[in-house]
Amino acid sequence: MTERPLLNQLIDALRCLPGVGPKSAQRIAFHLLERNREGGVRLARVMAEAMTRINRCGRCRTLTEHALCAICASANRDPALLCIVEQPSEVLAIEQATDYRGLYFVLGGRLSPLDGIGPDELGLGDLEARLGEEAIAEVILAISPTVEGSATAQFIADCAARHQVKISRIAHGVPLGGELEYVDGGTLALAFAGRRDI
């Protein structure tokens, strides 16, 4: 039995990336081999190192190569504010787009019993321990307004209430510069429900 050609193995390996189908994987493989071997070697080296060295922060569960991420280790953050997000990429998005100076907790998903994702998979026991041990004044939920996201938000709100911690949720609704006639009904309903005084 002969081993599959290395080129085919490379193309198949590239397909693990999100949004990369067979044709895109083939284009990437040929580009690296024909035009950027140095870039391909660097990519392989950094990818191998990242896969072995990057893990979850011991406090907030975001991705880091250290025991604590830079945000959790910083003395310049407000420990009374805790923003809860679904994915590590959302920490980066909030850091780049806002002036939020509190801490984070990364769930790694949403409650979804049908998919086998319960409180343990999301680290909600760790979150409850933080709420009980730390002087957190407010929990800010930055969770998607889906059915699973709403169930997750309610679970966390109940947990925060047990510890007498204020809970808020980021606003959802009409995007900046958006035209009302093009906004879907669900988004418009959320915008009306979340209206505030000006």
User: Residue 16 maps to which CATH number?
Assistant: 1.10.8.420
Instruction: Please check whether residue 154 lies inside any domain of the structure.
Output: yes
CA 56, 146, 98: angle at the middle one, nearest 5? 55
Q: Higher-confidence residue: 2 or 56? A: 56
| pLDDT tens readout for residues 104-142 | 999 999 999 889 999 999 999 999 999 999 999 999 999
Residues 18 and 96 in one domain: no
Instruction: Please check whether residue 179 lies inside any domain of the structure.
Output: no
Residues 49 and 92 in one domain: no
Instruction: Please check whether residue 60 lies inside any domain of the structure.
Output: no
pTM: 0.85
Instruction: Please check whether residue 36 lies inside any domain of the structure.
Output: yes
Q: What is the DSSP letter of 81?
A: E
User: Residue 105 maps to which CATH number?
Assistant: 3.40.1360.10
Domain range for 97: 76-169
Which pairing describes strands 63-64 and 166-169: parallel, antiparallel, or unpaired? unpaired
How many structural domains does the chain have? Answer: 2
Longest Cα–Cα distance of the chain, Å, equals 73
| pLDDT tens readout for residues 143-197 | 988 889 999 999 999 999 999 999 999 887 777 777 767 777 777 777 777 777 6
| pLDDT tens readout for residues 24-52 | 999 999 999 999 999 999 999 999 999 99
Instruction: Please check whether residue 33 lies inside any domain of the structure.
Output: yes
Residues 149 and 109 in one domain: yes
CA distance 5 to 26: 14
**82, 100 contact by CB (below 8 A):** no
